[in-house]
Chains A and B, each alone.
Chain A
Amino acid sequence: MIKPIQIIAIIFAIFLLLKAILRLKNKKLTINEFLFWSAMWMLLTILSIFPQISDKIANFFGFGRGLDFFIVSSILLIFYLIFRIYIMLEELDSKIVKLARSISLKEIKDIKSLDR
């Protein structure tokens, strides 16, 4: 018996897959990015049609249910992404400071060279 959530997930995945193809056509995605995203959405489609597979994967990793596995791995992924964003922000902050400082020093050197 197919559940409504499965149909929604399938439509959602196909929609995003089409978007990925479109973005590839417009050269907004590189071929590698396209392969990654299309694999993700195809995986979602397959898992929606055969939810038993996710249970099998979960069992393999020692989880009782597919959903538990999904939630735990999602949280881990989110932690990782937050960490990456934190590093990125720090780097961005450093770049801004570097830029602003170089502007300041250039300004004062220009003034000093005019004085001479």
Chain B
Amino acid sequence: MKNKPKIYIVIPAYNEENSISGVIKDLKKHNYHNIIVVDDGSTDNTLKIARQAGTIVVRHPINLGQGAALRTGMDLALDLGVDLIVTFDADGQHMAKDINKLIKPVISNEVDIALGSRFLDHSSNTPWLKKVLLKIGVILVFLMYGIMLSDTHNGLKAISRQAAQKISIESHGMEHASEIIGKIKVNRIKFREIPVTIRYSKYSIKKGQRISNSLNIFIKMLTKWFIK
């Protein structure tokens, strides 16, 4: 990859008015100024806040789901001539300081995708029930695609332009996480997991995946797998 790659941070956001400005400030503080916020049909002030914060904001007219929002953001970034896309959550659970070590192996062309993992070190205070569910996800992904990761459902990823073009996300909802891993496998994309810290605040736990929703994701993963 060239010396000064064009990096875009893609943030899918749905009703994140309480956290989005903090997330953007944190990113700018760490010198990431190319930020695309995809407002996924929010009904609160997410759109206004993101625009005022000086980011590129794409708005979905209706709520489509995180997978669709990521795809819109990635498509736009590709259109703007991006070299490296970093996907980042809007609820404040990711840290901008982690991006630097995440993008390093991609910039140096060692891998095409760097996947953030909260389980490679002990910096994340993952609640135990969340841990169990995430590990079930890990096992399911292994059974489906034969790729053993430590953390399959982490929104923090660094993706090279070439890899982003190969991975065009088709899942609209949260199943995109396993879909991306499936596409990594099919397209034989080089990847590596990088330890990142997930900050579990009361807010991000409340906003994050509800436990009951895990079942939903699981069913969608299975039906997709069977039908396609």
Contact = CB atoms under 8 A, between A and B. Distances in A.
Interface of A: 87, 90, 93-94, 96-97, 100-101, 103-105, 107-109
A100 B72 CA distance: 10
Given A93-B172, A97-B68, A97-B172, A104 B61 contact: yes
A87 B227 contact: yes
Contacts of A108: 56-58, 76
A93 B134 CA distance: 27
B71 interface: yes
Contact of B76 (A87, A97, A105): A105
B61 A100 contact: yes
Contacts of A96: 62, 64
Interface in B146-166: none
Contacts, number: 41
Contact of A104 (B59, B170, B172, B227): B59
B227 to A, nearest CB: 7
Considering the complex of A and B, which 10 residue pairs feature the smallest CB-CB distances, nearest first?
A: A108-B58, A97-B68, A101-B72, A104-B58, A97-B64, A97-B172, A104-B60, A100-B61, A100-B60, A100-B64
A105 B61 contact: no
Contacts of A93: 172
A3 B19 CA distance: 72
Nearest to A103: B61
A96 B68 CA distance: 11
Contacts of B71: 101
Interface in B46-85: 56-62, 64-65, 68, 71-72, 75-76, 79
27 contacts: A87-B227, A90-B227, A93-B172, A94-B170, A94-B172, A96-B62, A96-B64, A97-B65, A97-B172, A100-B61, A100-B62, A100-B64, A100-B68, A101-B68, A103-B61, A104-B38, A104-B58, A104-B59, A104-B72, A105-B58, A105-B72, A105-B76, A105-B79, A107-B58, A108-B57, A108-B58, A109-B79
Contacts of A87: 227
Contacts of B227: 87, 90
Contacts of B62: 96, 100
Nearest to B41: A100
Interface string B18-43: 00000000000000000000100000
